[in-house]
Structure 1
Amino acid sequence: MSSTDHTAALRGAGLRVTAPRLATLAVVEAHPHSDAESIARSVRESLGTVSRQAVYDVLNALSDAELLRRVSVGGRSMQYELHRHDNHHHLVCRECGRLEDVPCAVGEAPCLTPHDDHGFDVEIADVVYRGLCSDCRAASAVSPAGHTAPATT
């Protein structure tokens, strides 16, 4: 997405176009699933003098306007990605924390239907798949002494 697209997105959401907002969108686009502190650091590197609190305020405003999506995967800090309105889900490695996008499981959004919807009109299903990524799985197959661990059946 170009800065022109970010400008149009901000205007379409009824937000003023500012350098911190444009820089934040660019950083999140370049580094999806970054936490607020990493985003703030990158925005400050890009713009120079902008406070951490200003970037946090921008993240909140862009999330509230649904230009960014907050991703919560448990005990870790909130992470951010561009909001694509595609109802995708996430895979998270329980060892290293790697976070990957994964399309909706099956069917149309929402892809999961609760057993009892308690009268809700369900619009979105947020799913986090947890497991061990391929790198961590490979690393755990090697013992500390550098010997390959016996295969389990």
Structure 2
Amino acid sequence: MIKSFALSLALAFGASAAERAEDRWALADLYPSVQAYREDAARLQAELESFGACRGHLAESAARLKSCLERYSSFSKRLARLDVYASQLLAEDTGVAESLELNEQARRLRSDREQASAFLRPELLRAGRARIDKLVAEDAGLRAYRHYLDDILRMAPHTLD
């Protein structure tokens, strides 16, 4: 009885979703191959390591603030892309070791991004609203980051030195 039920389920559902190409994510839209993913992840890691050059210089000038925020925004978007690729690849089949490895690599990159950019909030708070407003007024390109900056600066009264 149980064997016939299992057989009828197997026949009813046919191939598993992992076996049908039409049921897989279109991950090539993000990266054409795992190798392309790995190359972008390596470039992102290098960018995260060099982002420390912004530390201590964030509010020196409008150009410097804009450059640092553009870099942060750029690698955050790329990290999201890497993360989606890795997590969706893993969702296709959680038993594939390479998918587990890529998902773990994306998790480490998220952690590295948080570590590399940990100085942003304290430096912006230290610079203060008046200085940041002055810098935004000097460079129209900084207006794109107004919400991000305001979100941080509005927390100043609730943040310890």
Q: Computing the radius of gyration over CA atoms, which structure comes out larger, 1 or 2? A: 2
TM-score bin (small chain): under 0.3
Task: Tell me the TM-score normalized by structure 2.
Answer: 0.23
Q: Which has the higher strand share?
A: 1
Higher helix share: 2
TM norm structure 1: 0.24
